[in-house]
Structure 1
């Protein structure tokens, strides 16, 4: 839990240090709408918060004393199981001896929680791999978390992010292995269950080491704000804002969507950006366009999404404060 929170702190520190940086938000890995970089990073903070909750919840079902269950039917000795549970620091005793000796739900549940956490790390790792490439250039990784090439001297490979992505499959494999082992076992104990340990221990070691190294990578990550801003201003990322503009002028969204779609095609064919179109060209597509259309900028787009959970600076500031309180509280 503490290692998860350390990664959350690293993400939060990075978000706070770059809270004004604008970047493209993506769907289908295509530029979609401008967002604040901090808003993007906070999405991973939320994922990790759910991971923390899952591990805490998993502990509730693991914090049970099986002692006294014997081989399967209980023991013939008058032991005080509640006293033993208290002395050993466990929350409660098991209620059924056959279940206690044959249950491995706690192993499976931990592996499932770990798999979800690794999936979240893998998603962020993939974005770091993309963002650190020359094609994006959004971030620069510290030399401690990259390697060179044995052949190509110019290379700076994001090996740590790639390894985190790769080790996710390893943890998934451990989860599937224990599920497969348990799927057809009759009550109560069977020797098959000795296979539960190797995968569990490997998952614990893999998860903890990945979290530790990943946190260091995030803490030393450098954001290239000029690159994220440039990417956010390129192309036709404000198309949705133009459609929303027409909606505010009374145009139904379906019609506004069609108008802006044709406008984008027109601009692309002429190699022009939205701001390079003159008002006459805009009015050729709809008389509802006025000079105020030029007030639509990436800053205005981000600021307009001023609802709880949105990317507006005010809302992101509130989210950053909530995140900090959740860690420090």
Structure 2
């Protein structure tokens, strides 16, 4: 049997060793140690501020907690399974350092509100870091777009050639997705930034604490107004995992396109050696491992969101041990999102090169300018639906003859409709097709340049 050190004298014997291992969380919640120390320092200062402990005792506790922080950073404090969790590990080490005054730290506090505080401090910090990663990725997309305003790329619907686009316009679509992610995380961070410290186990405390004082020390914007809600709320964690899932959706969609673009069938991009791998058996291969891994890791973040939703759906108030399971989901999702953002940013910045000649060829070898013929006729007074049907007819004729629209003679065009003139050839060039789409938010070069200015202004105004 293991020696029991955590519980009161209510228990006559220790946990079975296997149950102790099953019950412990120290192997993963040690990640909260810096936040636990910060929260405990604020709690100690509050206890001294309201007179529950003396100023001298408060100072002793703070000094002892900072010593533990130093020991941890130096690799000298490595609690094992016998500590059960990070909170007890810190308290036990604190008592070794400062003596019996260390036992006063837990006055007017439960591990329920303590872990809730630690988790919020952790997530608030991690959200800030993820938002920084998002901005870095957005900046790379902006720079890439800036260099490719007049580079054309086929646009697709249903994965069929649709209309040509400015490559910058295509890249800026992902900038906008990440901008929503950045804003969304900021909104969630506001709801993370509420202090449960002082809610106790579930009902508050009999001690004359000042919850707003400790919240202010920890830079929380407010405190929970209901102690039951404070210790049992994990909405903020679910919201974060939902936002993390959307980030991964966006990164996965971009990854899928890069994978397609790098294939021999598309050949729109070349992967550089710094961001690609080879095959163990096929010497000619260059594999897009980075986007494939991002696409693959998306599922694990989705899984964590689903797991936490299922975890919470049936829990009665207030705290239940089930909530221990939220940590690994959060920790792994944070690591996954940060790692994927970093990898995609490097890939975009230095790991791929657009094959501009191949892209120019691609936009000249299809019927993606067919809509522009219909628009051309509509501008000359032909009802659009009639023009649409006429163009469909000429496309069918071209397909049967093995021609493209640009190969038709003026006589061919005028047999289609007498309103067509020599300027049809200019109207259907890919560059003109793109430039003409100058409606707000469109792919026209003027609109794209304005969109680039607007995007940079968003980052500068941050």
What TM-score do you get using the length of structure 2 for normalisation? 0.70
The answer to whether residue 351 in structure 2 is matched with residue 209 in structure 1 is no
* Structure 2 residue 346 is matched with structure 1 residue 232: no
1:117 lines up with 2:247 in the alignment: yes
Q: Judge which range, 182-191 or 254-263, deviates more.
A: 182-191
SS of the equivalent of 1:48 reads: helix
Residue 321 of structure 2 corresponds to: 191
SS in structure 2 at match of 1:284:
helix
Of 190, 197, 206, 1:67 maps to 197
After superposition, residues 158-177 of structure 1 pair within 5 angstroms as 158-177=288-307
In the alignment, does 2:433 pair up with 1:298? no
Q: Unmatched 5+ residue regions in structure 2?
A: 1-130
Matched residues in 1 for 2:325 and 2:293: separation?
26
How much does 1:286 deviate? Answer: 2.0
**For each residue in 1:228-280, what CA deviation from the matched residue of structure 2 results, as whole angstroms up to 9, or x when unmatched?**
11111111110000010110111111111111001100001001111211122
Query: In 1, Cα distance between the equivalents of 2:206 and 2:159?
Result: 64
Could you give the per-residue CA deviations for residues 16-38 of structure 1, whole angstroms, max 9, x where no partner exists?
12222011111111111111000
Structure 2 Cα separation of the partners of residues 275 and 62 of structure 1 = 58
What is residue 445 of structure 2 aligned with on the other side?
313
1:288 Cα deviation after fit: 2.3
Distance 1:294 1:16 in 2: 29
Q: Which runs of 4+ in 1 moved over 4 A?
A: none
Matched, 1:19 2:149: yes
**2:275 pairs with 1:145:** yes
State the alpha-carbon separation in 1 of the partners of residues 355 and 455 from structure 2: 24
Pair 1:126-2:256 in alignment: yes
Quick one: distance in 1 between partners of 2:423 and 2:219?
67
- Looking at structure 2, the residues matched to 327 and 142 of structure 1 have their Cα atoms a distance apart, in angstroms, of 29
Report which stretch shifted further, 291-300 or 86-95. 291-300
Greater relative contact order (CA < 8 Å, ≥ 6 in sequence): 1
For structure 1, list consecutive stretches of 5 or more residues without a partner in the other structure: none
Equivalents in 2 of 1:249, 1:213: separation in Å? 51
Aligned partner (choices 238, 242, 259) of residue 373 of structure 2: 242
- Return the alpha-carbon distance in structure 1 between the equivalents of residues 316 and 380 of structure 2: 68
The partner residue of 1:87 within 192, 210, 217 is: 217
Q: What residue in structure 1 maps to residue 387 of structure 2?
A: 256
Q: Distance in 2 between matches of 1:286 and 1:185?
A: 70
Superposed CA offset, 1:173-203 (max 9, x none): 0100000111111111111111111111000
Q: How far is 1:170 from its partner?
A: 0.8
1:94-152 deviation per Cα after TM superposition (whole angstroms, max 9, x unaligned):
11111111110111111000000000000000000011111111111221211101111
| Per-residue deviation, 1:85 | 0.8
Aligned pair partner of 2:159 in 25, 29, 37: 29
Partner Cα separation in structure 2 for residue 325 and residue 289 of structure 1: 43
Residue 35 of structure 1 aligns to a residue in which SS? strand
Counterpart selection for 2:169 from 35, 39, 59: 39
Inter-partner Cα distance in structure 2 for 1:137 and 1:196:
43
SS of residue paired to 1:98:
helix
CA-atom RMSD in angstroms: 1.0
TM-score (norm 1): 0.98
Q: Distance in 2 between matches of 1:128 and 1:93?
A: 45
Return the offset for 1:72.
1.0
SS class of match (1:227)? helix
In the aligned structure 1, how far is the partner of 2:334 from the partner of 2:423?
A: 57
For residue 24 of structure 1, give the secondary structure of its aligned residue in structure 2: strand
**Cα deviation 1:184-231 (Å, max 9, x = unaligned):** 111111111111111110000111111111110000121111111111
For the residues of structure 1 that align with 2:369 and 2:283, how far apart are their CA atoms?
40
